[in-house]
Structure 1
Amino acid sequence: MDPKLEERSTELKNLGNQELKSNNFDKAIELYTQAIDIFPTAILYSNRAQAQIKLENYGLAIEDANQAIKLDKNYLKAYYRRAVAYSAILEYKKSLSDVKIVLSRAPSDKNAQVLEKQLVRIINQIKFEKAIAVEEKGSTIASIDFDSFTVESSYQGPDLDIKVEDKRVSVAMTQEYISNMVDLFRKGGKIPKKHAFAIVAAANEIFKEQPPMVEFGLKRPSTAAKELQLEEAKKITVCGDTHGQFYDVLNIFKRFGKVGKNHIYLFNGDFVDRGSWSCEVAFLLYSLKLLYPQNIYINRGNHETNDMNKVYGFEDECKYKYSEKLFSCFSESFNSLPYASLIGQEYLVMHGGLFSSDNVVLDDIRKIDRFKSKQPPKEGIEMELLWTDPQESKGRSASKRGIGMQFGPDVTADFCERNKLKAIIRSHEVRMGGYEIEHDGKLVTVFSAPNYCDMQGNLGAVVNFTLKDDEYEVEYATFTHVDHPNIPPMNYSKNNFGF
């Protein structure tokens, strides 16, 4: 190796390290890649794996860790980073195997010790849950006895009118209650447990009645017979991931308008996990759904699932703030959420993306039986609606996440043509500018959690739809993060798994 080339590779590595420390992960990957092209080393691959982990590209992180280990079987950081990436995609046994390799050679490594304890705990928890699992005849929500609840004496806000008929819960939600709830959350308070269970149970009744793909639009004659249209609605706003960033959700409504008769909102999944105010975000969205059932819609995301909630904070947050039973109720309500929405018969909105088969059509989404199992299947169109990502090249390829797959512009164009769609709108990935128009304008990624996890520095964005001359006008608006109390992401999680 020419010493000058080796020196240049080291220089690029050091620059990459600086970008990594500054949370400029894309730039760090670019610099590490340039260094690898000149002089590949285990350290470079391992460092690039760390940047990929920060971007949640866990599949790519595993590939880089594999390359690092191939170059140097004794480089322990590569095993540790592969373990972190495996744990992120729920491959706990593979993760534990790598951690044990680290500890066999460096038994005092504190990071590996912590990760081992977390992995053993969750593996044992999963074994225990499987051992005691039985087919439940009823639902957790149906088992709630609201007469047994008393509202905590410390609560000073408005009452909530709760009715239960034939185990169906309904709530007469008011704007006064929501305003008081928001003020309470801003002060670090909690709503009464009776109210919490009632809001989830009543919202679940509404979600259950919705089809797997909700179809709505602004009022125009050409599609009136095919979808719900509200006379007074003038605008539709689509939001991407919000991930428990409660104060940024409040800012969305402040900047772009409140949910109301004139303004429809669609939240495109992943409203819980990561951020430490996931309960607050969920209660706000559910309460708005109760107040304006036809003016706010919520798609399911890959984080509205038990596996992800165990790892990324929502389950532990529910237990800490309310109870384990409330998490079970939220889980049940997530299973009732639609998988997709169709706006104006022209724009399909789902959390993840398109499919591994060219034969999927809109009617296949309409026919999904989301109550067949308690959690989404590990394969098929339900999984793909939640997990897949776009790629620049044509065709399909393995996912950079390690779960699902990636689809190219030709797949998007073909799907839109066969289903007579103008575009696909999806979320699921951070975009530094808040949104990105891809695949020759036929696919849009929108992400609405600015400065994601208090470290990415990205903008948030929304997509606004209005009508002009009976045609939809699509506009994109961005926003920055707002201040929040000094509570870090995943503050309540017992399973940080090193990431």
Structure 2
Amino acid sequence: MSLESKSRGEELKGEGNQAFKDKHYALAQQFYSKALEIDHANAMLWGNRAFAAIRLEEFGGAIADASKAIELDPKYAKAYYRRGDASYALGHWKDAVRDFRSAIRLAPSDPDLRRKLAEAEKEMKRQAFEKALATPDEKPYSEQVVLEDMFVEEGYSGPRMEADEEGRLRVTLEFVQGMLEAFKNEQLVHRRYAFEIILQAQAILKALPALVDVTIPDGGELTVCGDTHGQFFDLLRIFDLNGLPSDTNPYLFNGDFVDRGSWSVEIILTLLVFKCLYPQHMHLTRGNHEAKSMNTIYGFVGEVKAKYTAQMAEVFRETFCWLPLGFVINDKVLVVHGGPPVACNATLADVRKLDRNREPPEDGPMCEMLWNDPQDQLGMVPNKRGVGVAFGPDVAKRWLESQGLQMVVRSHEVKDEGFEVAHDGYTVTIFSAPNYCDQMGNKGAFIRFDSDCKPSFTQFDAAPHPNKRPMAYAAGAWSSMM
């Protein structure tokens, strides 16, 4: 390598490091890639690009880059560290433990590594323990809840549900408005009411198919929102801009309601209570973060336990398994969290037959609908996330046309402008968590569809919120991943 090339490579590496420091992770990744074109055998560049991929949640790509760094330099401790981070993020505990142990052998004095190893070992043991205890006839946690034993104390000052003529508690608009006001003031509703909301919503969700058809009547509109990720005060911003859900103002929230942000409980209770109040006009899609493995890592389980109980966390988990996998609007638009099931070439008819009441598998149509991503290149390749596939414009067009559809609307990815129209209009991404994790600087957005399924986009900036950092409830040392 010439001195000029070496100098240029170091310059690109420095620009990548500065972009990373400024939290422009995609830009950092680009600089590292350009540097690797000059110095392909530089293990540190591969390790740095792996770190950027982790920040972008491209965990499969991070594992590949870290593995290349290890191949080039088997004594590069940070490469094992990065690969362990990525494996942990995917819930691959055994692989994470292996790599953290390798990293500790090379860097024995790193306390952060030891904390992460302890977390990975704890999760690996928990998974094995739960598997050993599981029985086919185990009664669901939702059926073990005894609502009548949860007395609402006279001293409780929050909103109260009213009883109907048969003595059953019911959701009213007055209660919902009181609940939102309490949440704004960082107050919770009584756990009796929280359980009522979850179980009433679960009963409604159970009656739905895996793929739901939605009709926008002439003169009507439907608002579609993307990931909200526990950013409750940004959800309120959406309602301020677009109005509360109602029977004349329907909404569809496209998955990833929880994790990352530290008001996930408030988000999901708000969405579920509107599902109870307007069951035909509040639609909820399952995202890849409505899953036990993600909720354990990224904070939702810890948040529910901190704000309510471990039993409630299990009831939420069971409820998530009943969320529909997608919606078809006016026989024209598929709304799904990740993308259409193109790798397995499943049809809409196949999706309608799926038994969705389970944790997401690692392949097949359900997995793809939660995890797939679009790409600019033609064809289809394994997803950089490490789960699902990335599909090109030709793949999207072919699949949509085979199903008689015009467009897929999906979420699952941060976009600087809050949305992106790709694949010549066949693929639209919508993301509704502005300044994601208080650090990405992106806008949020939502879509309004009319009866002709013409999309209209609204962008918005992040709302002010109380001083609580993202990932505040994440598992142990993992709260430092962001």
Aligned-residue offset at 1:357: 4.3
Q: Which residue of the partner structure matches residue 70 of structure 2?
A: 69
Q: Which residue of the partner structure matches residue 366 of structure 1?
A: 352
Seen in structure 2, the aligned counterparts of structure 1 residues 171 and 378 have a Cα distance that, compared at 3 Å, is farther
Indicate yes or no: 2:440 matched with 1:446. Answer: no
Q: Which residue of the partner structure matches residue 203 of structure 1?
A: 201
Correspondent of 2:461 among 465, 480, 486? 480
Q: Which residue of the partner structure matches residue 181 of structure 2?
A: 183
Matches of 1:125 and 1:162, distance apart in 2: 41
Indicate yes or no: 2:335 matched with 1:334. Answer: no
Q: Which residue of the partner structure matches residue 29 of structure 1?
A: 29
Aligned-residue offset at 1:483: 1.1
> After the TM superposition, which of the residue ranges 250-259 and 374-383 deviates more from structure 2?
374-383
Matches of 1:161 and 1:291, distance apart in 2: 13
Kept in 2, the 8 Å contact 1:311–1:496? The answer is no
Kept in 2, the 8 Å contact 1:312–1:495? The answer is no
> After the TM superposition, which of the residue ranges 81-90 and 233-242 deviates more from structure 2?
233-242
Seen in structure 2, the aligned counterparts of structure 1 residues 294 and 414 have a Cα distance that, compared at 3 Å, is same
Q: Which residue of the partner structure matches residue 256 of structure 1?
A: 242
Q: Which residue of the partner structure matches residue 93 of structure 2?
A: 92
Q: Deviations over 1:19-39 (max 9, x none)?
A: 101101111111111111112
Aligned-residue offset at 1:136: 3.6
Correspondent of 2:211 among 213, 221, 234? 213
The amino acid across from 2:264 in the alignment is: S
Matches of 1:350 and 1:269, distance apart in 2: 8
Q: Which residue of the partner structure matches residue 56 of structure 2?
A: 55
Correspondent of 1:434 among 406, 418, 425? 418
Kept in 1, the 8 Å contact 2:344–2:364? The answer is no
Correspondence list, 1:279-358, <5 A: 279-357=265-343
Q: Deviations over 1:362-419 (max 9, x none)?
A: 1112112223xx3233321111111111111222111100111121111111111111
Kept in 1, the 8 Å contact 2:446–2:458? The answer is yes
Q: Deviations over 1:76-101 (max 9, x none)?
A: 11111111011111111111111111
Q: CA RMSD in A?
A: 1.8
Q: Deviations over 1:94-124 (max 9, x none)?
A: 1111111111122111221111111111111
Indicate yes or no: 2:442 matched with 1:458. Answer: yes
Aligned-residue offset at 1:135: 2.3
The amino acid across from 1:444 in the alignment is: V
Unaligned segments of structure 2, at least 5 residues: none
Matches of 1:80 and 1:242, distance apart in 2: 30
Indicate yes or no: 2:44 matched with 1:43. Answer: yes
Q: Which residue of the partner structure matches residue 228 of structure 1?
A: none
Seen in structure 2, the aligned counterparts of structure 1 residues 47 and 359 have a Cα distance that, compared at 3 Å, is closer
Identity across aligned pairs (percent)? 40
Aligned-residue offset at 1:162: 5.6
Structure 1 outlier segments of 4+, above 3 Å: 161-165, 356-359, 495-498
Unaligned segments of structure 1, at least 5 residues: 221-232
Correspondence list, 1:94-243, <5 A: 94-161=95-162, 171-220=169-218, 234-243=220-229
Aligned-residue offset at 1:295: 1.1
Matches of 2:17 and 2:228, distance apart in 1: 29
Matches of 1:148 and 1:173, distance apart in 2: 19
Q: Deviations over 1:276-309 (max 9, x none)?
A: 1000001100111111111110001111111111
Alignment coverage as a number of residue pairs: 479
Aligned-residue offset at 1:328: 0.9
Seen in structure 2, the aligned counterparts of structure 1 residues 170 and 478 have a Cα distance that, compared at 3 Å, is farther
After TM superposition, the score normalised by the length of structure 1 is 0.93
The amino acid across from 1:290 in the alignment is: C
3-state SS of 2:340 partner: coil
Kept in 2, the 8 Å contact 1:313–1:492? The answer is yes
Matches of 2:164 and 2:109, distance apart in 1: 57
Correspondent of 1:380 among 346, 364, 367? 364
Q: Which residue of the partner structure matches residue 394 of structure 2?
A: 410
Kept in 1, the 8 Å contact 2:285–2:323? The answer is yes
3-state SS of 2:381 partner: strand
The amino acid across from 2:23 in the alignment is: N
Q: Which residue of the partner structure matches residue 229 of structure 1?
A: none
Q: Which residue of the partner structure matches residue 3 of structure 1?
A: 3
3-state SS of 1:263 partner: coil
> After the TM superposition, which of the residue ranges 169-178 and 300-309 deviates more from structure 2?
169-178
